[in-house]
A = this chain, B = another copy of it.
Amino acid sequence: MISEKMKPFVKNNSAIRIMFEEGNRLRQQYGPENVFDFSLGNPSVPAPDSVRQAIIDLVNETEPTVIHGYMNNAGFEDVRQTIAESLNRRFGTTFAAKNLIMTVGAASGLNITLKAILNPGEEVIVFAPYFLEYGAYVRNYDGVLVEVTPDTSTFQPNLAEFAEKITPKTRAVIVNTPHNPTGVVYSEETIKKLAAILEEKQKEFGTVIYLISDEPYRELAYDGVFVPYLTKYYANTIVGYSYSKSLSLPGERIGYVVIPDEADGADELIQATTIANRVSGAVNAPSLMQKVIARCVDEKTDVAAYDKNRQALYNGLKELGFECIKPEGAFYLFVKSPVPDEKEFVNAGKKYNILMVPGSSFACPGYMRLAYCVAYETIVNALPQFRKLAEEYHLL
């Protein structure tokens, strides 16, 4: 009854559902406070109170036909201008309203970007480990996903292999920094090298290769680490942003795409992406939330809360003998499995009511992702359970 393209998804979905149901079963059996769920990237820090106030003020002050009405498919002009100016202040860029398209979150932003640029059979390069949904997005437009294998010593992108995998069919590269699932931030040196490779390959093949920067975690950076703004390093950069994590609004589906004037064919690309927003069915980003963002454009989430979690979980696990790169951003730890088959280890964790995501869900087996966007107490209470797990696996 369903399309051939959807069949593997439905098959695969059962596995995710079983995992989800397992979590619910554990919570019912042991009580939610005794289950240590590190599987979900759902922000634990609430949206700033200014978001609540902006919502109330807006619905009280604005005509309902405006605040809930249609606008240009790219979004309200004043909202886009406000965000552009905020970006320009922060990053020294020169964007205007026309360079921004408000989107139904980053996922929709990536989809409309790919829809705008990708022909069937063209290639999109990603660096493992990566968010597996990228593969679904690329296949939505009959593109081909090309994986670069991970450099597990640093989890910076493997640039030598990257250069080899660029072909005349390469249409785009997706990067995500701060990075899900490793928490790594790509260094400026990495970005410069990556840009130089892309420039060289564009020249060699006479093609245009877009660098798509998926940035939901941009604001979640620790220890004063520098997070380069990629349009400044490579002209053909398209930025996909989301307020899901930066303002803790994941359910509201609000973000934007930036297409700078410097990008090849920028005007046509902006038009095509805006039309893709319409014909994909999104039509426009939710109207009230657009206006809320404009009022809260300089608000920040409580990064210190995530940082406290990061230190507690990272230090706790290191003391127990686990191997892990110290993350500089996002809210994930990517921990090395003590045994080659990390799924076995993930299953062992369940005995101690610990829920983790196997690295194979990010095309990087042998590791587990732990999302530390949880209550601090969850981490404190989980560590004795991790100790039992470490003992079982003879890490101590």
Contact = CB atoms under 8 A, between A and B. Distances in A.
Interface of A: 1-6, 9-10, 13, 40, 42-44, 46-47, 51-52, 55-56, 59-60, 63-65, 67-71, 104-105, 107-112, 115-119, 133, 136-137, 140-141, 208, 248-253, 264-265, 268-269, 271-272, 275-276, 278-289
Contacts of A288: 55, 251-252, 288-289
26 contacts: A1-B208, A2-B265, A2-B269, A3-B115, A3-B116, A9-B272, A9-B275, A10-B275, A42-B65, A46-B65, A51-B64, A52-B59, A52-B64, A55-B288, A70-B250, A108-B280, A110-B281, A137-B281, A251-B284, A252-B287, A252-B288, A253-B283, A253-B285, A280-B281, A282-B282, A288-B289
Given A1-B268, A56-B56, A111-B281, A276 B68 contact: no
A201 to B, nearest CB: 17
Nearest to A142: B142
Task: State how many copies of this chain the complex holds.
Answer: 2
A264 B1 CA distance: 7
Contacts of A110: 281
Given A43-B65, A110-B281, 14 more contacts: A2-B265, A2-B268, A3-B118, A4-B119, A5-B141, A10-B268, A42-B65, A46-B64, A52-B64, A65-B248, A67-B251, A68-B252, A104-B282, A251-B288
A324 to B, nearest CB: 26
Contact of A68 (B63, B250, B282): B250
A20 B253 CA distance: 28
Nearest to A56: B56
Contacts of A108: 104, 280-283
Point out which of A4, A70, A119, A286 has the most chain B C-beta atoms below 10 A from its C-beta.
A286
B65 A44 contact: yes
Contacts of A280: 108, 111, 140, 280-281
Contacts of A136: 279
A65 B248 CA distance: 7
Contacts of A117: 1-3
A116 B115 CA distance: 18
Nearest to A41: B70
**Dominant SS at the A interface?**
helix
A262 to B, nearest CB: 13
A255 to B, nearest CB: 10
A293 to B, nearest CB: 12
B275 A71 contact: no
Contacts of A276: 6
A269 B1 contact: yes
Given A3-B272, A10-B272, A141-B3, A253 B284 contact: yes
A202 to B, nearest CB: 12
A269 B278 CA distance: 25
A1 to B, nearest CB: 3
Contact of A281 (B56, B68, B112): B112
B116 A271 contact: no
| Nearest 8 interchain pairs by C-beta | A1-B265, A251-B287, A111-B281, A108-B281, A46-B64, A107-B281, A136-B279, A2-B272
A337 to B, nearest CB: 27
Contacts of A287: 251-252
A280 B277 CA distance: 11
